[in-house]
Amino acid sequence: MSDQIKISIQHLYKIFGDDPETALEHVKAGVNKTDLLEQYGHVLGLQDINVDIADGQITVIMGLSGSGKSTLIRHLNRLIEPTAGDVLVDGNNVIGYDEDALRRLRRENMSMVFQKFALLPHRTIAENAAMPLVVRGEDKSTALTEASKWLARVGLQGNDNQHPHQLSGGMQQRVGIARALTSNSDIMLMDEAFSALDPLIRTDMQDLLLELQQELHKTIVFITHDLDEALKLADHLVILKDGYTVQQGEPQEILLRPNDPYIIDFISDINRARVLRVRSVMKHTREAIDGPVAGDVDEDTNLESVIAASDGDTDLVYRVVRDGEQIGVISMRTLVKALVPTSAAEGGVRGNY
């Protein structure tokens, strides 16, 4: 997994209204979103956003409706112009691009997967998937061949000549993903891409995305309002509220160490055993364990699986391994303590173990 920064969002502000520059001065002076609207008639979309998006990773931006997440993703390809700030892609400031450079960015470097699929109803599935290459000027036959390859890769082989209305919602979204992959762009922007799907289909699409990512290592920016989805997909999680960043970091770290009551409320109903991984709560050590060992567990095993293997015995200790080598130790007592939500732990529940 790369630590190289692919996209760097720096001090980004977006204010909607007739005089955003003057409104920006009020925001920088401490006026919040509610007061900006009530007193000055402007809407604060984004406030001083600073996010580094790593190459080859999935960065998930989440928040409730009105948090600014969809506004933010549209700044990356400048579908929305910022009031202030910079967006660097491979070190180049997108905000300074002219129309030609911006067109190349959208055609060659960034693809987008939409919530509502955005398929052309009069075109076949293959023609829809081939569209990025056709727009780029590629030979139509070559584009269709490439599109057919990616349609098969997302499980739609044999559907090339069908039209969107003949497919289910989940199948249509697979076409959207195939279209993004056909473009061969190294950045994929996914704005609430799975939120219109039924729960089971949504889970299938999440699994498909993770499977493709294991192979392709795209830089993916994924927007969602669903915390379970965010925790499942994210390498890096950014949580927005009222246009500003409340907390960002590795999802396991945020779950274990929320830094704001807003985050605590967000995670209060999460099944921590299903989400937390052994690596997040283990003791890091390569030294031999003094005493009986119940077995080995992989560092990425979730706590629910370890609980099932232990049959509820809190006296057991497991060796934590990566590629067959010990990297830590986890006791069932430590594991159980990690399942106590932060707010409960602060109330003293943790001390009962």
Neighbours of 101 (CB within 10 A): 12
Half-sphere exposure of 345 (CA within 13 A, CB side): 14
271: phi > 0 → left, psi -120 to 50 → alpha, else beta; which? beta
Q: What pLDDT does residue 199 have?
A: 87
Beta bridge mates, 238: 61, 248
Report how far apart the first and last C-alpha atoms of the chain are (Å, whole number).
36
How many of the other CB atoms lie within 10 Å of CB of 46? 27
Q: How far apart are CA 247 and CA 138, in angstroms?
A: 43
Instruction: Provide CATH code, domain 273-352.
Output: 3.90.1280.20
In the chain, what are the domain boundaries? 273-352
Per-residue pLDDT of the chain (353 residues; tens, 9 = 90+): 557 999 999 999 999 999 999 999 999 999 999 999 999 999 999 999 999 999 999 999 999 888 999 999 999 999 999 999 999 999 999 999 999 999 999 999 999 888 777 889 999 999 999 999 999 888 999 999 999 999 998 889 899 999 999 998 888 888 989 999 999 999 999 998 888 788 888 898 899 999 999 999 999 999 999 888 999 999 999 999 999 999 999 999 998 889 999 898 888 888 889 889 999 999 999 998 888 999 999 999 999 999 999 998 999 999 999 999 999 999 999 999 888 875 544 443 333 32
